[in-house]
Amino acid sequence: MKNRKLLALFALLGALSLVAAACGSDDDGGGATSASGGGGASGAADCSDEFGCVEIAAGDPIQLASLLSITGDTASLGTDSNHGVELAIDYLDDAFDGTPGQLLGHDVTLQQEDDGCSAEGGQAGATALAANPDIVAVIGTSCSSAALGVADTILGDKGVLLFSPSNTNPGLTSEEAHQPFYARTAHNDKIQGAIVADFVFNKLKIDSAATINDESPYADGLAQAFRDNFEALGGTITDTEQVNSSDTDLGPVFTNIASTNPGVVYGPNFNPVCALSYSQGSDILAKGTVQIGSDGCLESSFLDTVGDPIADYDYYASSPDVTAYQGGDFYKNEYLPAYTDQFGKPTSVFNAHAYDATNVLFDAIESVAVDDGSGNLTISRTALRDAVFATSGYQGLTGTITCTPLGDCATDVTIGVFQYNNWPVEGGVDPTDPVFSETKTLADVI
């Protein structure tokens, strides 16, 4: 008797929760209704394609979302990019005053999701966002592993634009794997790998290197780009090693690397593997061996874990060169002070890319949104995508933004190599200028 009552209770609860779920997701039926014609930016919006339009009623906000790495070891990466987006929303009223402005008479809200810096996180976050038809576009992801084949596909299938401020894996914009609704303002890692190879071979004058990367597409792609370009310059790769991003014991791997006597160990990973590589690797490698990390390492969590530079062992990390930003005066005198005022010192460099991505997005929204005269907006997803991809010669903080059909929007990429611990992030010691800086375009590299 008691069991039956319990069963009935659970059945009732289950039924109620199903009903609640069905009623809860009642939205304004945004879907694929065609817009009324009228005085919009470019005539009537075409909502008849498979992706339809986003309808924003007068008084409702334009909903943006971000899918960035905001928890865990890479939290400094994603939180920093979120701040870039928030500053772009702030500057809609042409002033960094802490009060957000409006776009086309509508407020702009930002729903922040976590990409977990992994495929699982990217899938969970992207699925949650794709299910919401009011999201106009998503700024994300932080880590290439969350985007490649995961978030870019899930969101692309619904026609939601995914605009990344910090994905750098070459595969994301390759012929074979590029998704039509994906673009990025971050550089393509083929360029970063080539510039670091140049630094090692021509500046440090070291001709033997070993690489160690984790299982993420980001690390794998970057290590490969470095190897290709380093060997093309005439260098030798003495060893290639792979570890797991969750490994803490790097002793045996470094012992193996040390036995091949490389002059440089290139470890383009994320933290904590970067930090552990430096501290554990220095106990094992021969004195004077240089270790180099990449933009995934250049975060304040590295500085927290390692502390002071280790004597006899230099560590460098490559990253977009913030000092060479063409944004110049505006970056130094308005953007950076505003960031520091509102959020403290930046913990990563990609906030500027996020700022640029958001502004390119805003420009695109302005050009394709159709206003029916009473403040209701209709934005065709395909038109928005086309407008973003048509961006050409846009002067952003990080340089000139011209998007290629495959989604690479950073044309001239300046990568700097920064010596530890003069890093341009929270905890870094001044002067934070790079020891090496070079500009290349995709056509220059392998």
Partner 1 sequence: MATVTGQRAPGSQLGLLERLPWRKIILVVLSALILLVVVVGSYKTLTLPADERYTATTWKNFVTLGLAQGAIIALIALGYTLVYGILRMINFAHGEVFMFGAYTSFFFSDAWEQSGFLDSNPWLSMALLIVIAMIASMIVALLLERIAYRPLRNAPRLVPLITAIGASLFLSNTARGFFGAQSRGYGVPDVLSGSWTILGVEVNRIQLVVLITVIVAVVALSLFVSRTTTGKSMRAVAADSEIASLMGIKVDRVIVITFAIGGLLAGIAAVLFSITFESVSFSMGFRPGIAAFTAAVLGGIGSIYGAALGGVLLGLLQSVGPALVLTGYGIPSSFQLKDAFTFLVLVLVLIFRPGGLLGSGEAEKV
Contact residues for partner 1, defined by CB under 8 A: 71-73, 75, 240-243, 246, 248-249, 251-253, 255-256, 258-259, 271-272, 275-276, 279-280, 283-284, 301, 304-307
- Of 132 and 256, nearer to partner 1 (C-beta) is 256
- Of 304 and 412, nearer to partner 1 (C-beta) is 304
Q: Are 301 and 276 in contact (CB under 8 A)?
A: no
Shortest CB 412 distance to partner 1, Å: 34
Backbone φ and ψ of 354, nearest 5°:
-65, -40
- Of 303 and 360, nearer to partner 1 (C-beta) is 303
Shortest CB 280 distance to partner 1, Å: 7
Q: Which residue has the tokens 């865990």?
A: 72
Shortest CB 446 distance to partner 1, Å: 20
- Of 53 and 298, nearer to partner 1 (C-beta) is 298
Strand partners, 113: 67
- Of 93 and 247, nearer to partner 1 (C-beta) is 247
Shortest CB 220 distance to partner 1, Å: 11
Which residue, 379, 338, 391, 396, is CA-closest to 108?
Answer: 379
The tokens describing 115, both together, are 């990409």
- Of 70 and 387, nearer to partner 1 (C-beta) is 70
* Residues with Cβ within 8 Å of residue 17, at least 6 apart in sequence: none
User: What does the alpha-carbon distance between residue 291 and residue 288 come to, in Å, rounded to a whole number?
Assistant: 9
Shortest CB 22 distance to partner 1, Å: 31
User: What does the alpha-carbon distance between residue 412 and residue 14 come to, in Å, rounded to a whole number?
Assistant: 56
- Of 99 and 259, nearer to partner 1 (C-beta) is 259
Q: How many CA atoms lie less than 13 Å away from 361 in the CB half-sphere?
A: 34
End-to-end CA distance of the chain: 74
Surface-to-core class of residue 317, CB atoms within 10 Å of its CB (0-12 exposed, 13-18 middle, 19+ buried): buried
Shortest CB 109 distance to partner 1, Å: 26
- Of 253 and 265, nearer to partner 1 (C-beta) is 253
Shortest CB 189 distance to partner 1, Å: 20
Shortest CB 76 distance to partner 1, Å: 9
- Of 275 and 370, nearer to partner 1 (C-beta) is 275
Shortest CB 21 distance to partner 1, Å: 26
